[in-house]
Amino acid sequence: MAEGYLLGIDIGTFESKGVLAAVDGRVVAVCTKPHDLIVPQPGWAEHDAERDWWGDFCHLSQELINSSGIEAGEILGIGCSTIGPCVLPLDGTKRPLRNAILYGIDTRASTEVECLRQAIGDDQVFQCTGNDLSAQATGPKILWIKNHEPEIFRRSAKFVPGSTYLVGKLTGRWVVDHYTASTYVPLYDSGQGCWSADLCEGIVSSGQLPKIDWTCSIAGKVSPEASAESGLLTGTPVIVGTVDAAAEALSVGVVKPGKMMLMYGSTAFMILPTEGPVSDRRLWSAPFLFPGTNALMAGMATTGTLTRWFKDNLAKDLVWKEQGSGRSAFETLAAEASQVDPGADGLLVLPYFSGERTPINDPLAKGAVYGLNLLHTRGHLYRAILESIGYGLRHHLDVFSEIGESVDVFRAVGGGVKNPLWLQIVSDICEVPQEVTQVSLGAAYGDAFLAGLGIGLFEDPQEIDRWVQVERIVPANSEHSPVYRDQYQRFRQFYELTRPLERSSD
């Protein structure tokens, strides 16, 4: 096998991460850089693409080269991923015209979703794309710009996701992979693997969208201009790249059916490879990363974001102590919650603090707490929040089961794997074991492997098994099943009972 290194960089909701890996999977250097989530008003979520995406990329690439002590010329290939689906309008010189509008946590385009449903029809959208219109879809977000920011729309030469923007900055070529393109509902024709001229009509010209290729195809090579900013060697190959969740799935060896990636991040995201194309209106479907592969996806809108909200607003004393003692506020909260019995003494939380994505696909859904009494503590509430995420995941497993797709094991990845209590709660509620891999660096690690595939170092995606080893297994505790099954049913009822209230308040 060739000697050298592979660079993977991922741009997340709250931070970006870069990994420099040897071709045998050995991690040589890791670097992270935090950035802010811009929330101009409730229901909106944005990033400054030049600062948060390209700025982070250049910072990480330079830091990885400097900290590792390698030469830029020893990097054989580059892969990148970003949060998605996002929309960034670019002018004729490929400069951003506004902040990027982010994925399903940004629900501003609810009216546009309904307008497109009426104009096109749910059945036609689903038949063409394999997905329904929702807050996750990109087409309505583009239409929102057209309706609310007509001058920006008029000046827009391209509407691109984050991975396309990074690859474009690196190579001058504006290309998107099939997996990411499938999130551009209703614009992507899943059967033909191209933009649908009919469904683009009235929203955007297909010429304003990037060209479509496969994730591991070589998009181009690092330009002299990009080299000067990033520290990378001019001429280094760059693959097309993808959405972070897909790269993260690969990073923990999720390639074949039966094994599901469960990403504990700012949001929860699930990917389950399938034998062939499978569609269900409660979930998302897409071609996977490689020709001839398919996957089902699902995502909850607020998981890690919700635990962060709880810490910042209801545990400020622990945040202050953290600065002095060095003990993580999350670690203290987990210790408090671990003193509470499963089921949180009847306390229930709906985790829909920013609407909800799958399987309810309800942008109007609200967060709620039920069952409080004077004996409940902060530990009860924090445990109830962790359990609410587990119930949301269990809801997804029920949907997968209904359509004949079994989940034998979760491969857990993301920041949440550092919280043993959260992992155990999810295993217990879902009654599915979780595997945590030895290297749990997330999408950036998968990006590095994908770059190796792209330049021909590897022939088969299954070779990721050489890089991935399971470090520990979190089995379900059957003793907790009765209380969690009962609480799960109450959780489902809780949402149905609150639905009329959400609509009467908007």
CB-count exposure of residue 371 (10 Å: 0-12, 13-18, 19+): middle
DSSP 395-464: HHHHHHHHTT----EEEEEEGGGG-HHHHHHHHHHHT--EEEES---THHHHHHHHHHHHTTS-S-GGGG
- Residue ranges and CATH numbers for the domains of the chain are 5-252+440-471 (3.30.420.40), 304-434+476-504 (3.30.420.40)
Q: What is the model's pLDDT at position 327?
A: 84
Instruction: List, as one string, the DSSP characters of 248-278.
Output: HHHHTT--STTEEEEEESSSEEEEEEESS--
Query: What is the pLDDT at residue 495?
Result: 97
pLDDT at 104: 83
Residue percentage of the chain with pLDDT more than 90: 90
CA distance 447 to 414: 15
Which residues are paired to 350 by β-bridges? 368
User: What's the confidence (pLDDT) of residue 441?
Assistant: 86
Q: For the chain, which residues score pLDDT lower than 70?
A: 1, 504-506
Sign of torsion, CA 416 421 424 429? negative
Q: Is 469 helix (H, G, I), strand (E, B) or coil?
A: coil
pLDDT digits (tens, 9 = 90+) for 402-419: 999 999 999 999 888 999
| Model pLDDT, residue 502 | 77
- Which pLDDT score, from 0 to 100, does residue 68 have? 97
Nearest residue to 106 (alpha-carbon basis) of 146, 81, 142: 142
- pLDDT confidence of residue 122: 93
